Amino acid sequence: MSYSAYLWGRARDELVGELVSLGFREELGDAVARQLGSPKAMERMTAYLRNVKPRSEELVVDEMLAICSEIAAWREKKASEEANARYNEMLYYGIGGDGPDDD
């Protein structure tokens, strides 16, 4: 088992355990963990569960969707920044010019 798989499993187990301790089904925890996808997102969701202690599945799913939306917005921002950096290099060095990455 790789280290990233270990981290994912540990974060999933904590998330599911927290949901079960709040009275929700384990299946909900599995679905939320799969949807969030990364250990960091699952840890963020676990922190929400510990602090807010939501009483309905709707509140749990709503927070999961909010976290997914913020992750998607962050990825889009990073892609936009990368595209902007490439565009600025093209403006500075010209098309096919000797950029900083060209040797």
Residue 3's pLDDT is: 87
Specify whether the CB–CB gap between 64 and 32 falls below 8 A: yes
Report the alpha-carbon distance of residue 19 to residue 23 in Å, rounded.
7
Kindly report the length of the chain. 103
Each residue of 25-66: pLDDT tens digit?
999 999 999 999 899 999 999 999 999 999 999 999 999 999
Q: For residues 31-42, b (16+ Cβ closer than 10 Å) or e, as one string?
A: ebbeebeebebb
Residue 98's pLDDT is: 65
pTM for this one? 0.75
Specify whether the CB–CB gap between 16 and 29 falls below 8 A: yes
Which two tokens mark 30?
A: 């599995």
Residue 53 gets the label, from left (phi > 0), alpha (psi -120 to 50) or beta, of left
